Structure 1
Amino acid sequence: MELKGKEIVLTGGTSGVGLALVEALQADNTLLVIARQSERLEALKTRKENVDTLACDLGDADQLRRLEQSSWIFEGVDLLINNAAIQVSDGFLSQRYDFESMERELRLNLLAPACLTKLAACEMSRRDKGGAILNVGSALAIAPKASSPMYCSTKAGLRSLSRSIGYQLWDRGVRVLHAMLPLVDTAMTAGRGKGKITAEQAAKELIEVVEEERVDAAIGKACLLAAIDRVSPRMAQRLMRAV
């Protein structure tokens, strides 16, 4: 897929990797950015050409249901990028890490991409030209770390979901792509780890995944973790246990 003249729906496009994707794509394409913070969305719409916005908290059950009823959003869409996600790093036994927190992480990171993928795929499969869906994942889908069990679980689930849905949609001309990012320098990862890639580099790599239609892509250091896991899953587990 050549990303020029395309209709693109992007979630979580007001900061980090999502904002970098908007910056990289908006000149040659038309974007609808879905995010939670209406003020940031308004600022984005004012500053950028070819960008429309929709305020929706994908981690809220009622708002997600209302979005599900708005299938018109995906009329004519060529590419859906499921980018929005949250990561909670409180200890699993912490009182702050309660059922509501777990449910929100699950809904935003896994259920929302599943719902939006279905809406987009139904529209794309009706057309001769098909389309593509990119689910932005994490290297933690390969080997989970100790500090964010729900986040790791949702990213592993997103990888499996992408592959399974991709099997179903292949003959309909809809490509379901999944990309595992390494640690990216964003507000989410502030104070964590070293050797991060920039949001701009992550966006560049993700665009290449779409253009090359790579079904399950590991980016940067995610490639190294995948290689270690293939050779010695125990070694990968030991590495991630301390993270």
Structure 2
Amino acid sequence: MPGIVDSKCVLVIGATAGIGRALALAVHGLPSQPTVILAGRRQERLDELSKLGDRLKTVRFDVNASREELKGFVQDITSKYPDLDAVVFSSGIQHIFDFNNPETIDLEILETELNTNYVSIVRLSTFFLPHLLKLSAQGRPAFWIPISSGLAIVPKASVPGYCATKAALHSFCLSLGDQLKDTNVRVIEILPPLVESELHDHQGMTPMLSKFWMPLDTFTEQVMEGLKRGDTQIAPGTSGENWERFEKGKLERII
């Protein structure tokens, strides 16, 4: 199956900054001229994005909404955009936790991280799949595109919650892709390395990390090439190196 080169309508959840924003704008530039729906929490950024093109549509949305609100969101989107054939899950948060000092662990923050990075995506996939499978039954390709992390392969000890959520999402992608292998719904997992973004701003680590991260433009270009080809896993930079060492061949060994 080809990649998203012929997609008609793409939803990007978490599109107001960083990787999500960059990918949304890059998808908007595809020759197929898809409608791109940008979903995010920050209305002012959505308003700015809506001015960049007639095919850019925006909707305010929080992945930490209730289960019923998430279901209602999916019903509204698929009703308004029946040609929706690709969903990109880019929402994500990262926090530092020091379990040497367990009294400092804020469980509410940790649980929000778990919900944002993993639970909400599983919930949304459950609600979106009936629509995507309907397209599949019509012979149309459809795409479920979660953004996990290279830290799903090799974790960073200072952000244990983040790494665990991304490892869970990575495993879920492998299983889901195998379950859907006889349909026209493709799972394409993106595993970023350390990439230029706002993800670390609240940690006060951006100046240091900026010396090492992959520029966002470089990352976006490499990911778009993988999306156009329809690669099952897209792992640029150091994520690709770790994928070669620890993950290569795993897809073929799923039981």
| TM more than 0.5 | yes
Displacement of 1:181 after TM fit?
Answer: 0.9
Task: Quote the offset at 1:216 in angstroms.
Answer: 2.4
What is aligned with 1:65?
68
2:111 maps to 1:86: no
**Could you tell me which amino acid in structure 1 is paired with residue 77 of structure 2?**
I
Identity of aligned residues (%): 27
Structure 2 letter corresponding to 1:158: L
Match of 2:251 in 1: none
Kindly report the root-mean-square deviation, in angstroms, between the aligned alpha carbons of the 2 structures: 2.1
| TM-superposed deviation, 1:229 | 4.0
Q: 2:243 aligns with which of 226, 230, 234?
A: 226
Within a 5 Å distance, the mapping from 1:125-204 to structure 2 comes to 125-127=133-135, 128=138, 129-189=140-200, 190-193=206-209, 194-204=211-221
Number of aligned positions between the proteins: 229
For 1:177 and 1:222, the matched residues in 2 are separated by 15
Amino acid at match of 1:20: A
| Alpha-carbon distance change, 90 to 191 in structure 1, aligned in 2, over 3 angstroms | farther
How far residue 3 of structure 1 moved from its aligned partner, in angstroms, is 2.5
User: Once structures 1 and 2 are overlaid, which stretch shifts more, 152-161 or 123-132?
Assistant: 123-132
Cα deviation for residue 192 of structure 1 reads 4.3
The runs of 5 or more residues in structure 1 that have no matched partner are 232-243
Map of 2:52 onto structure 1: 47
- Partner SS for 2:5: coil
- Checking the alignment, whether the CA contact within 8 Å between 1:26 and 1:49 is kept in structure 2 is no
| Mapped contact 1:77–1:120 kept (Cα < 8 A) | no
| Separation of aligned partners in 2, 1:228 and 1:162 | 19
Structure 1 equivalent of residue 34 of structure 2: 29
> Normalised by the size of structure 2, how large is the TM-score?
0.82
Structure 2 distance, partners of 1:2, 1:56, is 24
Alpha-carbon distance in 2 for matches of 1:152, 1:195 = 19
Q: Is residue 2:113 matched to residue 1:109?
A: no
Change (3 A) 1:83 1:225: same
What is the alpha-carbon distance in structure 2 between the residues aligned to residue 34 and residue 96 of structure 1? 33
Deviates more, 1:44-53 or 1:134-143: 44-53
* Structure 2 alignment gaps of length 5 or more: 201-205, 249-255
TM-score, normalisation: structure 1 = 0.86
CA shift, 1:97, in A, is 3.2
Could you tell me which residue of structure 2 aligns to residue 122 of structure 1? 130
Quote the residue 1:235 is aligned against: none
87-96 vs 47-56, which moves further: 87-96
Partner of 1:240: none
